[in-house]
Amino acid sequence: MTDTSSAYDRPLPVPVHEDLSKPFWEATKKHELIMPKCNSCSSIFFYPREACPECTSMDLDWTEVSGQGRVYSYTHVRQAVHPYFQSENGHIYAIIELLEGPKIPSNILECEPEDIFVDMNVVATFEDLNDDFTLLKFKPGP
Ligand SMILES: [Zn+2]
């Protein structure tokens, strides 16, 4: 008898509900994009953390951002690390620089990989995984 199970048979990976990132995930479920903002120096940053990466202040809040940005860097992933993410044409893993400054890792949807380029304008879109999680993605934008 052949055992066909492997490490790739694990369930779909989902974000961890940590206190620091919970507001972000609650907003994405409503298809809204928010980022941590420092009340001391006004820096907007990502990923969520306990202190501002610019001035170390712990006086932080959340602010809604435009969802508009540009492709800072990207790669065309043809062999996914998890079967859930495998598709016939692979997927685009990108670093998106938002207009407000933060850089965020994501995917670019709704365009062919060969049409993507650095500095391309993109806008946020949301992919509902299930009742608990919605992922932030990007698509070509204005
Ligand atoms: Zn700060």
Q: How many whole angstroms from 80 Cα to the centroid of ligand 1?
A: 37
Is 8 part of any domain?
A: no
Is 71 part of any domain?
A: yes
Is 10 part of any domain?
A: no
Q: How many whole angstroms from 3 Cα to the centroid of ligand 1?
A: 53
Q: What is the DSSP string of 30-73?
A: TT--EEEEETTT--B-SS--SS-TTT----EEEEE---EEEEEE
Q: What is the pLDDT of residues 54-102, one digit of tens each?
A: 999 999 999 999 999 999 999 998 887 777 777 777 889 999 999 999 9
Q: How many other C-beta atoms lie within 10 A of the C-beta of residue 30?
A: 10
Q: How many whole angstroms from 136 Cα to the centroid of ligand 1?
A: 25
Paired with 96 in beta bridges are: 71, 104
Q: What is the pLDDT of residues 111-133, one digit of tens each?
A: 999 999 999 999 999 999 888 88
| pTM of the predicted structure, to 2 decimals | 0.85
Is 5 part of any domain?
A: no
Domain that holds residue 82: 17-140
Is 6 part of any domain?
A: no
Is 40 part of any domain?
A: yes
Is 2 part of any domain?
A: no
Kindly calculate the radius of gyration of the chain based on its CA atoms and give it in whole angstroms: 17
Q: How many whole angstroms from 65 Cα to the centroid of ligand 1?
A: 17
Q: How many whole angstroms from 37 Cα to the centroid of ligand 1?
A: 8
User: Based on the structure, what is the number of domains in the chain?
Assistant: 1
The 3-state DSSP class for residue 99 equals: coil
Q: How many whole angstroms from 58 Cα to the centroid of ligand 1?
A: 8
Is 97 part of any domain?
A: yes
